[in-house]
Amino acid sequence: MQGTVAQIVALVVHGNTYFRGAEQAAAFPGDHSTLTFCEFVKFVGLTRSGENWSETLFAQDPASWLEELRESGVYAIRMIYMPRGQNLSGATDRMRVGFVGGGGRWLLETTGSNGSDYWEGRWEVGDQSRADKKIWRVTYGRIAANQPPSPHAASDLQSLRQRLTKNLTDIAAFAHRQKLDGFANAFEAGLSDLASSSPDADLHHNDLLTADMPLTAAQLLSAAQSSWVFGGMGSWNDLGFDDDDQKTYEDLSEDLYKLLNDSIVSATNSTALLAAARLQLKPQKRSWWRFWA
């Protein structure tokens, strides 16, 4: 799982736990693993002025953001993934995920009695000479406010887990046949997570999960970390094969990429309150917005 996406997962999961009033030390832990390499993570309101955006500070850190949201009546956060599809050269989101701006678009949706606000992250490199390696300056901008909530179909996490298990089994076998044992180990680690009662034990981001998260959701999120092999040079995307093996590789890889993204979104959003059901808010048609980053 990419660090940018892991941070969104953390904001959604911890935010929904905080909104439910479940016991936790703070709205968002200041030492969370997704903040390790960030100089700051702030949140701003945006006002469009011609072709530019003007920014107004909304919250200086994730904990303050969640506190401000709850104070204003927000009761649920969800993540939204928007695939871009193939470009003119035929490159898919999977193939472009290792490049800046590639792999699709990720948003945060915060929902309250006035509808939904939508937030998008911008990651910029700061001082690369810092001894603590906190080089990333992260800003989430509110790109739209008081909009109709997006439609959220109920996800069948068990079915998703079964499909991911099948794909990981097949792609691990393919990797072994190609003598790519390092990648095969990653796929098999994902399979172990899908069968584990404590799936986050050995993960880099072992603080994404919360105690009240459904086990299947925890398994899917952990498997998405363990078996994420997509990126640039040296990654699973950088491989090529002959004849039928190439088609098998592409089919399995595209399926895995979609399944992992579906797993991340569905598992993460399972922590959200059923806002539309509670307030009988009906999703309406809305437009999407231009990039602010």
Residue 89: band (very low, low, confident or very high) from pLDDT cuts 50, 70, 90 = low
Comparison of pLDDT for 150 and 109, the residue scoring more: 109
Indicate the fold that domain 3-35+42-152 takes in CATH: Nuclear Transport Factor 2; Chain: A, (3.10.450)
Q: What is the pLDDT of residue 234?
A: 78
Q: What is the pLDDT of residue 184?
A: 97
Element (H, E) at 246: helix 243-269
User: Considering the entire predicted model, what is its pTM?
Assistant: 0.88
Q: What is the pLDDT of residue 9?
A: 96
Task: Please say whether the beta carbons of 194 and 165 come within 8 A.
Answer: yes
What CA–CA distance (Å, rounded) separates 46 from 79?
A: 19
Bridge-partner residues for 107, per DSSP? 80, 120
Closest by Cα among 11, 2, 62 to 208? 11
Q: What distances in angstroms separate CA 2 from CA 9, 151, 252, 287, one per listed residue?
A: 11, 25, 20, 27
Q: Among the listed ranges 18-27, 83-92, 108-117, which one has the minimum average pLDDT value?
A: 83-92
Q: What distances in angstroms separate CA 173 from CA 1, 166, 170, 236, one per listed residue?
A: 22, 11, 5, 15
pLDDT digits (tens, 9 = 90+) for 117-167: 999 999 999 999 999 999 999 999 999 999 988 887 778 999 999 999 999
Domain with CATH 3.10.450 in the chain: 3-35+42-152
Instruction: Flag whether pLDDT at 105 surpasses 80.
Output: yes
Q: Which of 168-177, 207-216, 228-237 has the highest mean pLDDT?
A: 168-177
Residue 24: band (very low, low, confident or very high) from pLDDT cuts 50, 70, 90 = low
pLDDT digits (tens, 9 = 90+) for 212-260: 788 999 999 999 999 999 986 778 988 999 989 999 999 999 999 999 9
Instruction: Flag whether pLDDT at 93 surpasses 60.
Output: yes
Average the pLDDT over 43-55 and give the result: 86
The phi and psi torsions of 72 (rounded to 5 degrees) equal -90, 0
Residue 65: band (very low, low, confident or very high) from pLDDT cuts 50, 70, 90 = very high
3-state secondary structure of 142: strand
